[in-house]
A = this chain, B = another copy of it.
Amino acid sequence: MAKRPAAVIEPTVDTCCASVLSAPLDETQARDLARAFAALADPVRLRLLSLIAEAGEVCSCDLLEALGKAQPTISHHTKILAEAQLITGDKRGRWVWWRVEHDRLAELRNTLSP
């Protein structure tokens, strides 16, 4: 399990999003952050994310049967997660391989820190 490429990650973080707790957000910050959390506000997307995280890399076809949803539905959800930069897709041959953007996840985590 977890054939993630070892990775050293987590260098460039928290240069993007303001913390919710440190100072009142202006409307733009609030709108952007809300959009990011909205990507996490769906059970199918959370399961999708956790499946990708566990496997390291997954192609959409695997997600289909794992989640019991129609193919356009899965495609819809991967798109939303990708737009939120929580996953990225790599099209290799006929398949798209998805992996988690751990840096982005850390950014979001930081917005909830004091």
Least distance between A96 CB and chain B CB atoms (Å): 19
Chain A's interface size range is 35 or more
Rounded to whole angstroms, the CA-CA distance of A53 and B114 in the bound complex is: 9
Interface of A (DSSP majority class)? helix
Per-residue CB contact flags for chain A residues 33-65 toward chain B (1 = under 8 Å, else 0) read: 111011011111111011101100000000000
Give Cα A53 to B22, complex, Å: 8
Cβ of A109: which chain B residues have Cβ within 8 Å of it? 109, 112-113
Q: Are A25's CB and B47's CB within 8 A?
A: yes
Q: Are A31 and B43 in contact (CB under 8 A)?
A: yes
Whether A100 sits at the interface, judged by CB under 8 Å, is: yes
Cβ of A21 under 8 Å from chain B: yes
| Given A102-B114, A105-B112, A109-B113, A46-B34 contact (CB < 8 Å) | yes
Give the residue of B22, B35, B51 whose beta carbon is less than 8 angstroms from that of A24: B51
Which of A's residues lie within 8 Å of B, judged by CB? 20-25, 27, 30-31, 33-35, 37-38, 40-47, 49-51, 53-54, 66, 100, 102, 105-106, 108-109, 112-114
